[in-house]
Amino acid sequence: MELTLSEGVSRHVQVLRLQPGDDVHLFDGGGQEWRAAVVEMGRKRVSVRLEAPVDNDRELPVAVTLAVGMPANDRMDFVVEKATELGVRAIQPLMCERSVLRLDGDRALKKVAHWQAVAVAAAEQCGRSVVPVIHPVMTLGAWLKAEADGAALGSRPVRHRAVLSLREAVPLSDWLGEQPQVVLRAAPSEEARGGRQRNGESTTQFVFLNGPEGGLAHAEEEAALRAGWRSVSLGRRVLRADTAPLAALSVIAARYEV
C-alpha cells in the first residue's frame, strides 16, 4: 500500500535527507506503527510504501492523566513535552483560583491545538506510537464535577486520584503502596499487554491534580478531598507548578515500568 505523507511530515523526512528506498517508521498516534520505504521525494510531498507493522511496546503499563493548573508563559509547553516523554496518557489543562494564565474561546482552542502539536513532536522524538490527548481547557470546579459525574455513572475505569499537595499529606510512595496491585506483563502479546487491554487503554489509571503557581487554594483542595481525592506529598521541598506533575509521573514510571 502506498500513501502520500502530509506536508508537515514530508518536511520532516526531507530534513533528514532521506532518499527513495530508505526506511522510515510511521505511527498513527493511537498505538499502531509501521515500517515503510520512501518511494518518491517531491518538493512538498513524500510518497511511501507501507511494508510491515511494528510491535512498539513503549507505553507505561498504567495510564496516567495529569490535571494541571496551567503555568504561565511557555511552561505549559515544557510540561506537555516532558510528560509525553515520561509516558503520560492525557493532560487536562485547568484554570484555578490562583491561575495567572486564563484562556477561553478561540484563544483556548488555539492553545490546546498548539499543545497537541507539542505532544505529537515529543512522541516522535521519544519513539512513542501513542500521542497523549490534550483535553479542552476547563475550570477546576467544572472538571471536578465532570469527574464525579463520570465516576457515579460508571462511564470510565476506576481511577486512583491524588492531589499534589503543599500541606501535610501522605508521601506519594506510601499512597501508591495502598493501591490495588497492578498486574504487569510477563511477555508482550497482541491479546494482552500486562495492565493494558487490546486497544491500548490501561485497566489501571492514575490521575494527579496539581495547582498553578502558588498551588491550589484551600477551598479547591477541600473540594477535591470531599469528592474522594487523596492529598499526597512529593517531599519536603516546594516544587514549581511545572515540576511537581513531572516528578509524580517519574515516580509512577520508575515504579511500574518493566
Res. 245: pLDDT tops 90:
yes
Predicted structure pTM score: 0.79
Res. 112: pLDDT tops 90:
yes
Q: Identify the pLDDT of residue 7.
A: 59
Res. 150: pLDDT tops 50:
yes
Q: Identify the pLDDT of residue 170.
A: 93
pLDDT in tens, 2-11: 667 665 666 6
* Helix boundaries (H) for 89-241: 105-126, 140-153, 172-178, 218-226
Res. 30: pLDDT tops 70:
no
| DSSP string over 28-85 | -BBS-EEEEEEEEE-SS-EEEEEEEEE----S-SSEEEEEEEPPSTTHHHHHHHHHHH
Q: Identify the pLDDT of residue 173.
A: 92
Q: How confident is residue 249, by pLDDT bands cut at 50, 70 and 90?
A: very high
Q: When comparing pLDDT for 53 and 95, which is higher? A: 95
pLDDT in tens, 167-219: 888 999 999 988 776 655 544 433 333 344 434 445 679 999 999 998 999 99
Res. 161: pLDDT tops 80:
yes
Q: How far apart are CA 253 and CA 234, in angstroms?
A: 15
Res. 92: pLDDT tops 70:
yes
Provide mean pLDDT across the span 224-228: 92
The helix (H) or strand (E) run that includes residue 95 is strand 90-95
Provide mean pLDDT across the span 52-60: 74
Mean pLDDT across the chain, nearest whole number? 81
